A and B are shown apart, each in its own frame.
Chain A
Amino acid sequence: MNIQRLFKRLKPGRGAVISIPYFWLLLFFLVPFFIVLKISFAEQDLAIPPFTSLMNLEEGGLLHITLNLGNFDFILSDDFYAKTYLSSLQAALFTTLMCLLLGYPIAYAIARTDPARRNVLLMLVMLPFWTSFLLRVYAWMGLLNENGLINSFLLAIGLVDEPLPLFHNNFSLYLVMVYAYLPFMILPLFSHLVKMDGRLLEAASDLGAGPIKAFFTITLPLSRNGIIAGSMMVFIPAVGEFVIPELVGGPDTLMIGKVLWNEFFDNNNWPMAAAVATVMVLLLIVPIAFLHRFETRQLEGKGNE
């Protein structure tokens, strides 16, 4: 059996395997993004679809390209959008931090239990996914409502005289956001922590580091990639979150997802909605690309010599 020949024959197949995810990204991410980008340069129009086309072939073979920068100009000039982006980023950042603070100990504990119980605990983390996301948000509404379970209970036992303001404010917004995104933080963190060599902690202890010191000098730095991965998985979707702020957020909650929805459905202004989405993607891509470069440099190592 000539292994070399077998390998050569496998090679084109290997290329095909690698190209599948690229093709997937191209088809379902890059192409739609360019369609959105295209729409963002159009103008609102009373037509189906409700925007003008960018290119017109006029009589005499003259190709007329119209790029409308007005939407972007409007986003930049009206500080309503800047405020909304900022508060979206802030909400996402806070959600990410809370998820990290809650998720890290959970992931750590799961990684440290014996393998038999570990799977049960992981199941419990993923169990909420078995129910519809929307249903779970509605369940929270039923709990936090002025006449909801929590307030009814507190009133019934006489702990409070009037319902606590648990609903339609920042408290309910962050509570449900953290609840919804916590598993996305726990799972990547767990997969990093479970791989960690326990002997490194023994070595740290042997060299004089107490448990707390060992955690901050060994465990935490070594789980950095898990922290980054988990934070990305929470932060990115949280920035554009629409359902949670819409259903449980307060009346003054400014989230970019809500603005997008308003432009798209209430104002029927597709180009404006597209421009808002484009700016959001750019806001996210720049820091991610930066982080990615930093990561790669770390991986390649910087050892002198």
Chain B
Amino acid sequence: MVDAAKQSASEKPYLSITNIVKKFGDTAAVDGVTLDIRRKEIFALLGSSGCGKSTLLRMLAGMERPTSGQIILDGQDITRLAPYERPINMMFQSYALFPHMSVADNIAFGLKQDKMPKGEIDARVAEMLDLVQMRKYANRKPYQLSGGQQQRVALARSLAKRPKLLLLDEPLGALDKKLRQQTQLELVNTLEKVGVTCIMVTHDQEEAMTMATRIGIMSEGQLLQVGTPAEIYDYPNCRFTAEFIGDTNLFTGPVVVDEPDRVEIEAAELGGRIWIDHGITGPKGMQVWASIRPEDVRVDRDPVAAGPNAAKGAVTEIAYFGSYSVYHVKLGSGKVLKAMVPVNRWHEANLEPPTWGDQVYVSWRADMPVVLTR
């Protein structure tokens, strides 16, 4: 990946995944992933179910053998090591707490495998219990804990051995929405306090955006894009990423004008041209996509000057979200455009907000669309 190469130029990667492939029968669950992770990074693998992110995580943990490729952690080739030989610990989606052991025994389990002296084990367990604020539950059994408490015990257990790499499999997937949002920041704080390098797998883009320093978007076994949350949101490199992260309006058409200072795309669905204020490198006539985020679309009740980046349509749907509303505007071509409008947009202009069936005019600035070639 171009991005990963650029990132690693400044610092030596801590974890290098090179061209890893995992085939189940004839189908490749992970199809040639190359990725570098820096020390103390919180990296999120984001994708819908079946995209191969969990298989990639399980290969890092050692629970699946890669068909080909290499994994190097802190200078050591761990590709063929068994799970119990790796300096890597994982927090399971279902937590996988041992039901017959107390909270303290669960946390001590990994330390006992290392034959750590008992005094040191007790000290480390106490430290971990404090870290996740579960000290007074040390003697409870897992089934006597709530979901959030179990999650914290699972985290403490996976951190107890001070792993070189921590893997989180849908870390908050088993919690309800309210608790999940609260726990996201708590979890990030804990991870940063410990200073552990961490790879998490999630299908929840909000979770990835909130927690991760960098995100890798996966689809059909391939890593499509790697970058910080802002990079991925503002500069998606393909349609999949643009649609997967946040919401977007996609228009397709041939490039009709390609000058250094502007590109014009003939978008049939818009019924006009999309004008972008920078050039692209590609042949004229090439089929491209323009991605316009709903929050970049302006909605007006009065006609705007005819020209590029504008169209008129009728409101078919209004979703109210408190501070903003999302309008679905049906264009002449039948294409529905989504526009996110702040609630005070109409108050400030001293206008009645448009309602169902109203004719409105949509437009956006020439610096808003992102051109996608795939």
Contacts and interface: CB of A to CB of B under 8 A. Distances in A.
B374 interface: no
A9 B98 CA distance: 42
A206 B109 contact: no
Given A200-B98, A202-B96, A204-B109, A301 B144 contact: yes
Contact of B92 (A203, A210, A221): A203
A13 interface: no
A303 B149 CA distance: 15
B161 A208 contact: yes
Contacts of B273: none
Interface string A198-234: 0110111111111001000110011000000000000
A197 interface: yes
A305 interface: yes
A224 to B, nearest CB: 8
Contacts of A213: 113
Interface residues of B, number: 31
Given A207-B113, A208-B114, A199 B102 contact: no
A301 B139 CA distance: 10
Contact of B139 (A204, A210, A304): A304
Interface in B119-162: 136-137, 139-141, 143-144, 157-158, 161
Q: Which of B83, B97, B99, B161 has the most CB of A within 10 A?
A: B83
Contacts of A217: 109
Given A208-B110, A208-B114, A209-B109, A203 B96 contact: yes
Contact of A206 (B90, B102, B114): B90
Contact of B113 (A200, A208, A221): A208
A89 B114 CA distance: 42
B347 interface: no
Interface string B78-113: 000011100011101010111110100000011001
A117 to B, nearest CB: 19
B188 interface: no
A210 B81 CA distance: 12
Question: Interface range on chain A: under 10, 10 to 19, 20 to 34, or 35 or more?
Answer: 20 to 34
A303 B98 contact: no
Given A204-B109, A205-B82, A208-B84, A303 B140 contact: yes
B113 A199 contact: no
Contact of A199 (B84, B96, B143): B96
Interface in A89-126: none
Given A218-B98, A222-B100, A206 B141 contact: no
B61 interface: yes
Contacts of A205: 62-63, 82-84
A197 B96 contact: yes
A164 B371 CA distance: 89
A1 B239 CA distance: 51
B109 A200 contact: no
Contact of A305 (B61, B88, B98, B137): B137
A297 to B, nearest CB: 13
Given A202-B63, A305-B136, A305-B140, A209 B98 contact: no
A222 B99 contact: yes
Nearest to B108: A207
Q: Which of B96, B110, B161 has the most CB of A within 10 A?
A: B96
Nearest to A196: B99
Contacts of B157: 207
A142 to B, nearest CB: 46
Contacts of A206: 61-63, 83-84, 88-90, 158
Interface of B: 61-63, 82-84, 88-90, 92, 94, 96-100, 102, 109-110, 113-114, 136-137, 139-141, 143-144, 157-158, 161
24 contacts: A197-B94, A199-B92, A199-B96, A202-B96, A203-B90, A204-B98, A205-B62, A205-B63, A205-B82, A206-B83, A206-B89, A207-B109, A207-B110, A207-B161, A208-B110, A208-B161, A210-B82, A222-B99, A222-B100, A303-B102, A303-B139, A303-B140, A304-B139, A305-B136
Given A205-B63, A206-B62, A207-B161, 16 more contacts: A197-B96, A199-B94, A199-B96, A200-B96, A203-B90, A206-B83, A206-B84, A207-B84, A207-B89, A207-B109, A210-B82, A222-B100, A301-B141, A301-B143, A303-B139, A305-B137
Interface of A: 197, 199-200, 202-210, 213, 217-218, 221-222, 301, 303-305
9 smallest CB-CB distances across A and B, nearest first, come from: A208-B113, A207-B110, A203-B96, A303-B140, A205-B83, A304-B139, A199-B96, A208-B84, A205-B84
